[in-house]
Amino acid sequence: MKVRILVLPVALLLCALLASCASGPYVQKEDEVMNLVQLINDGRVSEVEGLTPAPFALDGETLYLENDIATFWKNLKAASFVMKDARFVSSEHVGPDSYKAFAPSYDMKNFFARYTGKDTSLTVLETPDGRYYLLLERAIKGYPRIRGLKGPVR
């Protein structure tokens, strides 16, 4: 009888723990990040609706208009931009000082405070041209959403 009484609370606790995992911070997967890099290298970012929401952090600046973000990707494509030989280095959840990777400014601190959350990761890629920082969020249509991009940084 005591065993049955103990099993029910343990089972309920286990269910609660498993259910809470679904609301935990989203973790970026290396293969999804590298698929995103390929999409960027192919100049097809604008083909995936909702992939780059406004506002968008670009280096140490903020693009607030969707049209400006679309123009940015269009210009990168026209310039034949690629992150050649990109290698995934790391991805960690955005923390209190993550904004400094983009710029140690009040504007970037404010951007990170207002527009990033528990599902936003600061992802680092290494290329022969330098290091890239990407602000990535939960995936849409198989690709992580891009909230910001900086690089290459030498």
Strand-pairing partners, residue 87, are 126
Cβ partners under 8 Å of residue 135, min gap 6: 57, 94, 102, 116, 120, 121, 122, 123, 146, 147, 148, 149
pLDDT at 55: 98
pLDDT at 27: 77
pLDDT in tens, the chain (154 residues): 555 555 555 544 444 444 444 556 677 999 999 999 999 999 999 999 999 999 999 999 999 999 999 999 999 999 999 999 999 999 999 999 999 999 999 999 999 999 999 999 999 999 999 999 999 999 999 999 999 999 999 9
3-state secondary structure of 77: helix
Does the global pTM surpass 0.85?
Answer: no
Buried b (16+ CB within 10 A) or exposed e, 119-146: bbbbbbbbbeeeebbbbbbebeeebbbb
Domain boundaries along the sequence of the chain: 25-153
**Tokens standing for 38?**
């390929």
Q: What is the assigned CATH class of domain 25-153?
A: alpha beta
Q: How many CB atoms lie within 10 A of CB 66?
A: 13
3-state secondary structure of 105: coil
Whole-angstrom distance, CA of residue 9 vs CA of residue 68: 54
User: Are 133 and 151 within 8 A, CB to CB?
Assistant: yes
Whole-angstrom distance, CA of residue 149 vs CA of residue 124: 10
